[in-house]
Amino acid sequence: MSDHGHDGAARPGRSDSFGIVTLAYLVALTAALWTVAWCDPARPFWSLAMADLVATLVIFASSIKLDNGSMYDAYWSVAPPFFVAFWIGHAAADASSLRQALVTALVLAWAIRLTWNWARGWQGLHHEDWRYTDLYAQAPLPKWLVSLLGIHVFPTIQVFLGGLALAPALAYGTAPVGFLDGVALLVTGAAILLEAVADEQMRAFARTKEPGAIMNRGLWAWSRHPNYLGELGFWWGLWLFGVAADASWWWTVVGPVAMTVMFLAASIPMLDRRSAARRPGYEEHMRRVPALWPRHPRA
């Protein structure tokens, strides 16, 4: 089945769109694996970075071909499990197998849940994320360059930085599993659960189809973006695992810090501006309910 885009051209239907996206991601994975094989195995960070970039460029090429930046949407949650596999493949003999099992299970739980949440809400290639169309309209650059830098390469860099702590957690850290791993397990697990509950609550709210309604129920009564709080908690939890494995890798904090800055400086303001323009009373809601860290709403 096909639909038509805003330009009148025929676009694939939802089921065909999933097939196209799956094929594009398989090509991207093949290109990434080829890149790893081609790169110097003595420079694993370089190998992984190059493979990540090559895979991103394959998805970018697909986005340009189909004139839809939402080809990239699933990449955020699809890439980290492959980071896990890469680092386990480079693990020292004395790396903790228990820590490897914990981190792998958490990353897979996060990735599967988040990818499923995207898949069931994705409309298909006849639709493009409103954030992308806003970027095209606002950025003083050609559309293809905005797509390459802002929609593809920038989030790839963010996820790569967030995943830096996987290297000590899975490959290079040799400290036995201890108290800090327990804290990391609690933070990461709670973050995944928080994000999942917040997404389910928002999904249920969206089904009510109340024009101009403001989501102020459940977790969303205490935070305007509890799903983002859960997402950030996930990356901070991975960093804690890395530090638990080897404290000398503390500098990988650049990953969760970069994530936090992105959500606070870009993602949250963008969503709040859109909601304020579309929902009467949202500015008052912003005054009463904090953006991220939950607290009781102000009177």
190 vs 2, residue with greater confidence:
190
Please name the residues in contact with 202: beta carbons below 8 A apart, sequence gap of 6 or more. 215, 220, 227
Residue 208 is predicted with a pLDDT of 85
- Interatomic CA distance for residues 191 and 233, integer angstroms: 5
Residue 2 is predicted with a pLDDT of 42
Q: CB neighbours (10 Å) of residue 122?
A: 17
Question: What does the block give as tokens for 3?
Answer: 């639909």
Whether the predicted model's global pTM rises above the 0.75 cut:
yes
Question: What does the block give as tokens for 278?
Answer: 């579309």
- Interatomic CA distance for residues 237 and 241, integer angstroms: 7
pLDDT digits (tens, 9 = 90+) for 167-208: 999 999 999 999 999 999 999 999 999 999 999 999 999 988
Please name the residues in contact with 98: beta carbons below 8 A apart, sequence gap of 6 or more. 177
Please name the residues in contact with 121: beta carbons below 8 A apart, sequence gap of 6 or more. 203
Query: Is a pLDDT exceeding 60 seen at residue 7?
Result: no
Concatenating the DSSP letter of every residue in 221-245 gives GT-S-HHHHHHHHHHHHHHHHHHHH
